[in-house]
Chains A and B, each alone.
Chain A
Amino acid sequence: DIQMTQSPSSLSASVGDRVTVTCRASQDISGSLGWYQQKPGDAPKLLISAASSLPSGVPSRFGGSGSGTVFTLTISNLQPEDSATYYCQQAKSFPRTFGQGTKLEIK
């Protein structure tokens, strides 16, 4: 199985800041990486597919990059509503696997 490791596990930033979350795969997954946002009490929401593609309706301050084994999620111009837990997920092979999550707190 492909293991996904996120860092950091938590971070705190201020409104207007730019933050980066890293996700590492235990083997080459090409660009088959998605990012999800989950707010407390809600279902997750797809933020990014195929490493860097934003679904319709996702604000452009969210960005993704990477290929192979290292990927990043960048959130620019942080807003209060970005407070959430973020998960990466590989879509290269079954079983699908998620990272352990990164909890983002807005100061």
Chain B
Amino acid sequence: NAGVTQTPKFQVLKTGQSMTLQCAQDMNHEYMSWYRQDPGMGLRLIHYSVGAGITDQGEVPNGYNVSRSTTEDFPLRLLSAAPSQTSVYFCASSYGGDSNEKLFFGSGTQLSVL
């Protein structure tokens, strides 16, 4: 019973490098989202998707891209990493096509950008 799986758990990047954080869920959830969590800032919504082929921006989308080609996967791409993107990233999903359902979170990715 995997739930929401995020990889990698830890990552160190140099400024300017690109990478993709992977997120997969096996619960056939329509809604998926990415958050970042910084001390004193709480979780902030980066991007979200209400179904395959549909994505939209959250509170802090700049510097990140997403796509949703399948129901299961919702990767987050950092185009050119910056130190300000050092954070803990959480992927979350829920059953419904909107945000009114219980969110299931992955275990997080700790990203450091040097």
A, B assembled together: no
Interface residues of B (CB under 8 A from A): none
Interface residues of A (CB under 8 A from B): none
